[in-house]
Amino acid sequence: MSVVTLGLIQGTTFTSQAESLARHDVLIRDAAAKGAQIICLQEMFNIPYFCTRQDPALFDLAETIPGPTTNHMGALAKELGVVIIASLFEKRGPGLYHNTAAIIDADGSYLGKYRKMHIPQDPGFEEKFYFTPGDLGYRVWDTRFGKIGVLICWDQWYPEAARLTALAGAQILFYPTAIGWLSSEKAEVGKAQHCAWETVQRGHAVANGCFVASVNRTGGQDDTEFWGQSFVANPYGELVAKGSIEHEEVVVVTCDLQEVEDFRRIWPFFRDRRIDTYAPLTKRYLDE
């Protein structure tokens, strides 16, 4: 099918996993009632963004994938006939954890998972303490409603990740996200930080001739104020939908996937790539 409706769930933080899951059930149903066919939740949607500090006890928040939440989402996806992208804190094994997104098709089947490849370490984002870098590569899933790729938050800043996912056939790149301002920085550089975040992702849409859907949190956690503003950009990088800063909401937007083919015909960036010259990209830095 050519036309698909996306649902971006811009949620907030709740006091318990059970409360969060119950609320997101309501939001998913709302998105489906509004016509959404592919529904994407924010990064680690069913728990607080706990990476603001280092605390070994917080590993207890993790779960297996597949596991209880993916089973729950599978039943919901089947009931509503929608694709669900659920970002979770994955327990892979003893002392081994990932930041992972599970992809569930519209018949309720679990298609697979993507493990976040790029792991940040900054004040308020202590992710290297918790997450092992992904090892599943950049993946694409042929869902009932289109071919999608999923990347997670810090992956947003890396054109290589977007390129490789698009080259694998993705028509839409989804980015479950938890990003915001630190209170000490907001006044001075907050506006510039948000501009950079949105601009780089809109650039991925243009460079790869695809849709980009970025789904961010709202609300706050410790010293971090999540800036919301979930959005969808078309292959020209134009914003076709955008959420607010401070409100929990469901952003629903219809996209015509024929635009991907049409754009790539007139701006054939994939055709003109000089793949014979790109070997140095595998180097950390070109200082030798």
Query: pLDDT per residue over 195-212, tens digit each?
Result: 999 999 999 999 999 999
- Our answer to whether residue 116 is catalytic in this structure is yes
Query: pLDDT per residue over 112-129, tens digit each?
Result: 999 999 999 988 899 999
Q: What angle in degrees, to the nearest 10, is found between the helix axes of 191-208 and 159-167? A: 30
pLDDT at 221 over 90: no
Identity of the amino acid at 219: G
Domains in the chain with CATH codes: 3-264 (3.60.110.10)
- CA 255 to CA 235: how far, in whole Å? 10
Candidate list 51, 63, 116, 198, residue with the active-site label = 116
pLDDT value for 15: 82
Candidate list 40, 153, 210, 255, residue with the active-site label = 153
- Calculate the CA 281 to chain-centre distance: 24
Q: Tokens in use for 100?
A: 């992972």
CB 111 within 8 A of CB 141: yes
**Counting every residue, how long is the chain?**
288
Q: What angle do CA 171, 175, 176 make, to 5 degrees?
A: 140
- Our answer to whether residue 153 is catalytic in this structure is yes
Torsion, Cα 200 201 207 210, to 10 degrees, reads -170
pLDDT at 1 over 70: no
Q: What is the DSSP letter of 59?
A: G
Q: Tokens in use for 20?
A: 């969060």
- What residues pair up with 249 in beta bridges, in sequence order? 10
pLDDT at 141 over 70: yes
pLDDT value for 207: 98
Candidate list 43, 63, 90, 198, residue with the active-site label = 43
Q: Tokens in use for 120?
A: 């940040």
Look up the pTM and report it.
0.97
Q: What is the mean pLDDT of residues 247-276?
A: 97
